[in-house]
A and B are shown apart, each in its own frame.
Chain A
Amino acid sequence: MRVFWTAVALLGALLLQTGLTQVAPGYARVLDPFLIVLVYCALTGGEMYGMLAGAAAGWVQDIHFGGSVLGLAGLTKILIGFGVGAASTRFHLVEAGPRALVLLVATAADAVIYIQLAAVFEVASYEVAPARILLRAVVNAVVGVAAYEAVERRNRLRLGMGRRA
Chain B
Amino acid sequence: MASVIETRKSRLLLVGLVLAHLVAISKQVERGGTSLLGQGLFAFVAPFQALITGGVRGVSGAWSGYVDLRRVHEQNRALQERVRGLETHLQQREEQAREAERLREILQLRRDLPWATVAAEVIAREGTPWSRTITLDKGSAEDVRLNAAVISATGVVGRVIALGPHASRVQLILDGQAGVGVRIERSRVTGVLVAQPGMPTASSGDLVLKYVPSLGDVVVGDVVVTSGLDRLYPPGLVVGRVRSAARGSGLFREILVTPSAQFNTLEEVMVVRTPPPDDGMTQGVR
Contacts and interface: CB of A to CB of B under 8 A. Distances in A.
A70 B9 contact: no
B18 A122 contact: no
Interface string A64-97: 1000111110110011001001000000000000
Interface string A128-165: 00000000000000000000000000000000000000
With most chain A CB atoms within 10 A of its CB, the pick from B17, B29, B34 is: B17
B45 A82 contact: no
A63 interface: yes
Contacts of B17: 51, 55, 75, 78
B26 A48 contact: no
A22 interface: yes
Query: How many A residues touch the partner, as a band?
Result: 20 to 34
Given A51-B17, A75-B22, A68 B28 contact: yes
With most chain B CB atoms within 10 A of its CB, the pick from A15, A71, A117 is: A71
Contacts of A8: none
Interface stretch (B36-44, B139-147, B173-181): B36-44
Contact of B34 (A19, A48, A68, A71): A68
Given A48-B9, A70-B38, A22 B18 contact: no
B24 interface: yes
Contacts of A72: 25
B47 interface: no
Contacts of B62: none
Interface in B1-55: 6-7, 9-10, 13-14, 17-18, 21-22, 24-26, 28-29, 33-35, 37-38, 41-42, 45, 49, 52-53
Contact of A69 (B9, B13, B25, B42): B25
Contacts, number: 76
B100 interface: no
Given A47-B10, A51-B10, A78-B17, A64 B45 contact: yes
B60 interface: yes
A4 interface: no
Interface in A93-130: 117, 121-123
B275 to A, nearest CB: 88
B98 interface: no
Interface string B195-219: 0000000000000000000000000
A16 to B, nearest CB: 10
A63 B60 contact: no
B24 A22 contact: no
A22 B56 contact: yes
B57 interface: yes
B181 to A, nearest CB: 90
A18 B49 CA distance: 8
Contacts of A79: 18
Given A18-B49, A55-B17, A70-B25, 14 more contacts: A14-B52, A15-B56, A48-B13, A63-B45, A64-B45, A69-B25, A70-B28, A70-B41, A74-B21, A75-B17, A78-B18, A82-B14, A85-B10, A121-B25
